[in-house]
Structure 1
C-alpha cells in the first residue's frame, strides 16, 4: 500500500478527531485506549483543536502525532509520542532515571492492517525519539493491556521487549497494562 508518514498540522483537528473516533469504535478499543467513544464524541471542537495543536509539527515539541496518509489524503493510522522527563509522574508509572519517550494512541484502520503502516509509524516515532538533542532519549516505552495479544505481538515484532512492569488499571483489581520498551542502540 502506498502511504506516507508525517507529523500532523495544527489545522487538521477535524481529521484527527475523525481518526480518534474511528479508533474508539474498534472492537478492541476497550483494551487499547483509556477513553471511550461515548466520552470523546461529545467533546467540544476546542478540545480537538488544542489536542491537535499539541501534537503538531508546530506544537511545543514534547508531543508528536504521526499519521499514515494514503495518496488521496485519507489517514490510515496514527501513533503519538510523548517526551517524559526523569522523575516526572506519569499516568502509568513514574519515569525512572534517564529521559524517555512514550508511544500512545496507536491505531491502524482495519483496511490498512498488514500494509506496513504500523511499521512505518513506529519507525517514525522511534527515529523522532532518537533525534531529540534535549532531552537525549535513552528508551522508548509503551504500555499495552495484558489481554491485548494482537498488539503485544506487533510490538515484539517491532523490537519492543516487555520490562516486567505491570500497572493496574484504575478501578480494576484484575486488569493490567504491561510495559514494553526499546533501548537506544549503542553508538
Structure 2
C-alpha cells in the first residue's frame, strides 16, 4: 500500500505542466498551440521569452527530482524498498508525459527525466546532463541531444551501480523518451528539425 501511495503522489507531482503554468504567468500563448505543440522548455523558448523557458526547465526538472528525493528520503521508514523507488521514478515521468491535470497531453520528458536521474544520484544526473550539453552545443538540436543522453543514461547507471530495479526503470524511461521523440527522429532524418533558439512560425 505504501508503494502505491508513493507512486500516486509521484504521478500527481509529475502531472504539473510547468510549460503551461509558466506560459500563463508570463502572459504567453499555450505552448500546445504553436511550434512543436510540445509543452516543454524548448518549445516555450520558441515564444522568444527566455525567462518562461528557464522557469519551465527548472520546474519540470525539479518535480522529477522532488518525487524521487521524497521516496529516497522518507520511503524506507515506511517500508519502501528499491523496487518502490524505481516505481516512483517511472510514475513521476509518466505524470509528465500524460498529466491528469491537462487532459493527458504532456511533454516529452527530457527535463523531468533529468530531475529523476539527479534524484537517484547527482553524479548520474550530471553525467547525463553533460552528454546532453555536448551534443546540443555541437549540433544545436535539442531532440538529438535528448536522444543521445537517453541512450547513455542506463549505461552510466550500470557503470556506477550495476544491474537492479532502478536500472530497469531508467531503461523504461529512456525507451518512453525515445518513443515520444518519434516525430523528431523523422524530422532529423529529413533535415527538417528545428534548431535550438528558433522562433515559432
**TM-score under structure 2 length normalisation:** 0.27
Q: Write 1 or 2 for the structure with the bigger share of strand.
A: 1
Report which structure shows greater RCO (CA 8 Å, sep ≥6). 2
**TM-score under structure 1 length normalisation:** 0.28
Q: Write 1 or 2 for the structure with the bigger share of helix.
A: 2
